[in-house]
Structure 1
Amino acid sequence: MFKSIRWKFITIYFLPVYIAMLIVSVFIIQQFQEYQLNMVSENLNNLGRQEGLIKTIARFEDLNEYKEDIQRNIDQWPTGLKEEVFIVNMDFKIVARSKNSGTNRDAIDILDYTLLTQARNGKTDQKDIYIESRNIITKNMAFPIQLEGGQPKGILYIRADLSDVYKGLERAKIILIEGTIIALFITVILGFLIGRSITEPIIDVTKKASGMARGDFNQVVEVKSDDEIGQLAEMFNYARAKLNVTLSQISSEKSKLETILSYMADGLIAVNNYDEIIHANPTAMEMLDLTEEEIRTKSYDEIMKKLNENLTLKYIQKNRRMSNYTGKETLKIGDNILSASYAPYMDEKGRKAGIVMVLQDITKRQELDNMRKEFVANVSHELKTPLTSIKSYTETLLDGALEEKDLAVSFLQVVNSEADRMNGLVRDLLQLSRLDSKKVLWNKKNSNLVKIGQDAVNKMEITAQNKNQTLSFITKYEFLSVYVDKDRIEQVIINIISNAIKYTPSGGHIQVQVYRDKNYAVALIKDNGIGIPKRAIPRLFERFYRVDKARSREMGGTGLGLSIAKQIVVAHDGEIFVESKEGIGTEVFIKIPISKKKD
């Protein structure tokens, strides 16, 4: 309960009032009691010191002898209901008394011996005495009865009942206690109201702050005053608005960053110094073939040790101090090759908190690099072979073969053939270069693919007949409109037919079909030749790729025909693909979109 500031306010108000009321009450009671007792003492003293009274009694020589006269004098004294007067002789015998009961008892039995003794010795004294039989407190005063300068003849003993005084004191105490209780009650109420006026805005701010902690930033504190509490509410609202804007900006930036990390082509992994993976984007998980469960349960070193031990955190911390914990390694996962670059990231104090690793899939780059190297090697080889033949035949002619006409003519024919071969290679390379650089000037217009296919078959028919092969053209369409460069598409079909003739044995059959497949016009070149191994089909359209290099060179060709064919078909928004079974035959499909354009 006292953890609440409201109760602390009540306590702060309550205690000073309580202490003040307590001190004031004690002081008032003491002063009131002292005043009342002094008043009684003064009354008794005045009563006892009435000179007429003392002198009247002192005139009697023997108090015992004139006790009736003394009694009549006492009865005439103006005493109150609470005062009692006793005339005592020197032997401590009661001679007379107010409210006389007719008894003559010893004073010692009912009066204080000390006061009697003091008065008999000529001294006046007083004393408060509790009378147990009557359960009261009395004020007692004893005066010596004597003439001026004479010897005491007796004792005037006056006793007053203090019950009314103490009852008044008790009543005053009750009044003060009641007043204190009322004052404290009012203090508690006021403290509660004042405390509530202070704590309610604080409680409101606390609740709204709790709501903000749960993510609800639409909290507004009502400003009810211009004092410090009101200023606190205004500052809270200002801070909330600023925080809302700041968090919105942070959330937006975080969302952008998460989107970038999630959809970036490169993989990213962040690892802290405790070997825990704190972030891995989807690309990294896909590259490393990891699941969410593995990211949560396995350590970084446990995962990376199986792939490349040089990328483990333990190895990096031990061996990469000189390079400031940066480095680069290569990973091979299945058929994929990954490049892993890593560097440290810092905490808010500028200390190394872990490493960030970026993974790049360089498989295609590696393949392209290998293809480039292979391309250079193939071009070099393709040029070297005819150049070697030309040089050897030329040297032979220079050494004297020119004298033999028939032999010289034969050698020159070989030189001419090899020159034509190099010229064809250079021509194909130039055509590929123009296709790659998009510098080819296409003469596209609406054409009939049926007519293009028929013309290609007619041009290759004699070549097929020379190998004792049957070349046929089949279609049920008269017109299939395609928007193409007619000469280029015819070149592609002729190239495919030429390959079919080359790799089909004598007596074989080659068939060209033209038909429609949905929104495409299709030219199918089908043979029953030697076929293509399944492993070689994906690489058929690579430059200089040959299934059987030795045999291909014997049959002529540069190894670039299919690459050029694919480039031309793709440039017409079409596609070309091969289906083949070794020893059974090959089917080449050329698909070109049906034209919707008008000349």
Structure 2
Amino acid sequence: MLSFRARLTTIIISMVALSVIASGLLMLKTFKENHIHVLEDTLEREMRLIAAQMDWKSGSDEELADYYYEHIRQLQELMDNRVTLIKEDGTVLADSDFNVREMDNHHYREEVLSALENGIGKSTRSSDTLNQNMLYVAIPVTNTANDETYVLRLAISLEEVEQSISSLTAVLVVGLIILFVIAALISYRIALGLTKPLEKITQVAKRIKNMDYRARVEVKKNDEIGELGHAINAMADSLQIQMGRIRQNENHLQSVLSNMINGIVMMDASGSILIMNERAEQILGISAAKLIGRHYREMKQQYELSQLIVEGYESRRHIHEEVTFYYPEERLLELNLVPIYQGNSSDFGGILLVLQDVSAIRRLERMRSEFVANVSHELKTPIAAVKGFAETLLGGAVKDEETSKAFLQIIYDESERLNRLIGDILELSKIESRRVPLMLSPIEIKEFMTNTFAILEVSANRKHIDFQLSSPEELYMEGDEDRLRQIFVNLLSNAIAYTPEGGKVEVDITVTELDMIRISISDTGIGIPEKDLPRIFERFYRVDKARSRGSGGTGLGLSIVKHLVELHKGTITVESKVGQGTTFTLELPQIH
């Protein structure tokens, strides 16, 4: 396809070429007609002069033919033109170039008829006798000797005229070619001046169409094309500002959607999905790329969700439900379907589906209820014991010194247990509510663990338990020494409590690839069943309830440990095999 510049140049050159050719043809035609008119006028004057000076005679046609032939021959030599004398009936009396006896009747020749009818006849045609184009001019003349009307005709060859026309044509062709080349160059220059700015404007418009809003037209003139360039630049400025605002709003919206803890799915009035954020992808277990632009039925979710969406489209009202999902994992979801209307109008625009995972909330509510129940149960046991033994003493047992002393000891032990339980509950409450300020300081791990071992050395020696510590030198971490002591005393106390006599408790300290301090506390105790491992950090959860109470445990120790480790930005895990022992592994950040 030709470019606009090529098309414009072609049009201009074509118009110039047509104009030049038409001018040349008109010039040639005008030159030829004028030349012939001059010859016609010249021949007419010559014939009238001949007619005026002619010496007319009467006689037979043969006599007249011989007579006029001599005169015509003399005239032909003087004028160098063919002279013919024709009678009114078309009989040729004399001809300067041919024998009249061999010539046909000229009555119906165009110039003869016109001369007899109009007083003068003119004709241009090919001569049958001379085989060349001739110009014929004829006028009627009267033979004064016998009053007969003749036609005097002069003929001149147009060969010279045609040669002049040919020469002129050659000159004109050369001149027209030169003129055409000059016109073509000028036309191309004009087209270039017109199209080059337009091509630049077109290129800028294409860049703007391809969302390159920084493209601008370089305006050099203040003509119409310059005004068009200014208009394009103004449009690009406006588009750049508007698109910048749109992109900023899109980024804000995308940031909000990406960081929302709730899943968002927006559908239009026909049910096609328009927006789906990352959280919705996680909850529904399907990629947004596969659903955007498709109908909501292609989500292929469970029946309850599909029915709720259908109900939302039918009722066009807010719907709130809680539904249990089993894919991609079991969870409880709170669903809100909100109808969307266009602006302030009543035109229905679609449905906004908000998905909130309330599994953790419901689990926390259940744990809170269980905690209250467990606390009530744990508090009720020592209180009931204190009350029972106190009632027994009041009933008369106080008189028996030995019995009263035993009952009072039990009351004291249960009150101590109750005091520990209340203290642990308050401690756990403060830790969970983040109301425990950590007094951070650098701690040398090996020295710290040695001092901790010393605190529990008496309990370990009582059961002949071997304490072992493996730790590198000069290894520091930042933490609250009292709280860390609480963590390790609790873990080591449990290890001693659940390890049979003659067992071993080992502490191994290393540094991980992620520059964390890993502390492993292993024992050779009774171990923990695999089914209980996921729950041992829950409040009041006991693997062996009878033994835990017998050892004075409250069931809150490991829960306190876990929260304190997390306050130090660490993690704690457990591995255990029944009859072989248990290993608690802590990872805490180190400092250099």
Provide the TM-score with structure 2 as the length reference.
0.72
Match of 1:382 among 373, 378, 382: 378
Rounded Cα–Cα distance in structure 1 between residues aligned with 2:42 and 2:303:
112
Rounded Cα–Cα distance in structure 2 between residues aligned with 1:167 and 1:475:
131
CA apart distance, 1:402: 5.5
Q: Could you tell me which residue of structure 2 aligns to residue 137 of structure 1?
A: 134
Relative to structure 2, which stretch is displaced further, 432-441 or 274-283?
Answer: 274-283
Query: Structure 1: which 5+ residue stretches go unaligned?
Result: none
Q: Could you tell me which residue of structure 1 aligns to residue 395 of structure 2?
A: 401
- Per-residue displacement from partner, 1:446-467 (whole Å, max 9, x unpaired)? 7753233223332x47xx96xx
Q: Could you tell me which residue of structure 1 aligns to residue 540 of structure 2?
A: 544
Q: Could you tell me which residue of structure 2 aligns to residue 424 of structure 1?
A: 420
Rounded Cα–Cα distance in structure 1 between residues aligned with 2:7 and 2:85:
62
Distance 1:197 1:409, change over 3 A: same
CA apart distance, 1:170: 4.8
- Per-residue displacement from partner, 1:34-60 (whole Å, max 9, x unpaired)? 773475256425633667425x426x6
Rounded Cα–Cα distance in structure 2 between residues aligned with 1:115 and 1:493:
141
Q: Could you tell me which residue of structure 2 aligns to residue 128 of structure 1?
A: 123
Q: Could you tell me which residue of structure 2 aligns to residue 193 of structure 1?
A: 189
Rounded Cα–Cα distance in structure 2 between residues aligned with 1:48 and 1:363:
131
Distance 1:160 1:367, change over 3 A: same
Match of 2:224 among 228, 243, 255: 228
Are 1:435 and 2:435 matched, yes or no?
A: no
CA apart distance, 1:92: 5.0
Q: Is the 8 A contact 2:528 2:577 kept in 1?
A: yes
Give me the CA root mean square deviation.
Answer: 5.5
Q: Give the letter for the 2:48 counterpart.
A: G
Distance 1:127 1:403, change over 3 A: closer
Rounded Cα–Cα distance in structure 1 between residues aligned with 2:52 and 2:569:
152
Q: Give the letter for the 2:188 counterpart.
A: F
Distance 1:565 1:112, change over 3 A: closer
Q: Secondary structure at the match of 2:541?
A: coil
Rounded Cα–Cα distance in structure 1 between residues aligned with 2:18 and 2:231:
38
Q: Secondary structure at the match of 2:152?
A: strand
CA apart distance, 1:210: 4.6
Rounded Cα–Cα distance in structure 2 between residues aligned with 1:220 and 1:378:
75
Rounded Cα–Cα distance in structure 2 between residues aligned with 1:525 and 1:124:
148
- Per-residue displacement from partner, 1:122-154 (whole Å, max 9, x unpaired)? 99553537432223434242434255xx96146
Distance 1:367 1:70, change over 3 A: closer
- Per-residue displacement from partner, 1:350-399 (whole Å, max 9, x unpaired)? 976766655555443343232222112212222344455566677788xx
Distance 1:580 1:269, change over 3 A: same
Q: Could you tell me which residue of structure 2 aligns to residue 309 of structure 1?
A: 303
Q: Is the 8 A contact 1:522 1:589 kept in 2?
A: yes
CA apart distance, 1:84: 0.6
Q: Give the letter for the 2:104 counterpart.
A: D
Are 1:563 and 2:556 matched, yes or no?
A: no
Q: Secondary structure at the match of 1:375?
A: helix
> What are the within-5 Å matches in structure 2 for residues 110-259 of structure 1?
111-112=106-107, 124-128=119-123, 130=125, 131-135=127-131, 136-147=133-144, 152-153=147-148, 155=150, 157-161=152-156, 163=158, 167=162, 170-171=165-166, 174=169, 178=173, 186-207=182-203, 209-210=205-206, 223=219, 225-233=221-229, 235-236=231-232
Rounded Cα–Cα distance in structure 1 between residues aligned with 2:353 and 2:160:
98
Q: Could you tell me which residue of structure 2 aligns to residue 450 of structure 1?
A: 450
Distance 1:236 1:118, change over 3 A: closer
> What are the within-5 Å matches in structure 2 for residues 53-72 of structure 1?
53=53, 56-57=55-56
Q: Is the 8 A contact 1:577 1:589 kept in 2?
A: yes
CA apart distance, 1:474: 4.9
Rounded Cα–Cα distance in structure 2 between residues aligned with 1:121 and 1:595:
137
Q: Secondary structure at the match of 1:137?
A: strand
Query: Structure 2: which 5+ residue stretches go unaligned?
Result: none
Q: Is the 8 A contact 1:453 1:512 kept in 2?
A: no
Distance 1:334 1:28, change over 3 A: closer
Q: Could you tell me which residue of structure 2 aligns to residue 47 of structure 1?
A: 47
Identity, in percent, stands at: 25
Rounded Cα–Cα distance in structure 1 between residues aligned with 2:49 and 2:438:
152
CA apart distance, 1:534: 1.6
Distance 1:37 1:120, change over 3 A: closer
Q: Give the letter for the 1:141 counterpart.
A: A
The aligned length equals 574
Relative to structure 2, which stretch is displaced further, 375-384 or 151-160?
Answer: 151-160
Distance 1:204 1:345, change over 3 A: farther
CA apart distance, 1:436: 3.1
Q: Is the 8 A contact 1:326 1:342 kept in 2?
A: yes
Q: Could you tell me which residue of structure 2 aligns to residue 109 of structure 1?
A: 104
Q: Secondary structure at the match of 2:559?
A: helix
Q: Is the 8 A contact 1:337 1:361 kept in 2?
A: yes
Distance 1:117 1:489, change over 3 A: closer
Provide the TM-score with structure 1 as the length reference.
0.71
Distance 1:329 1:165, change over 3 A: farther
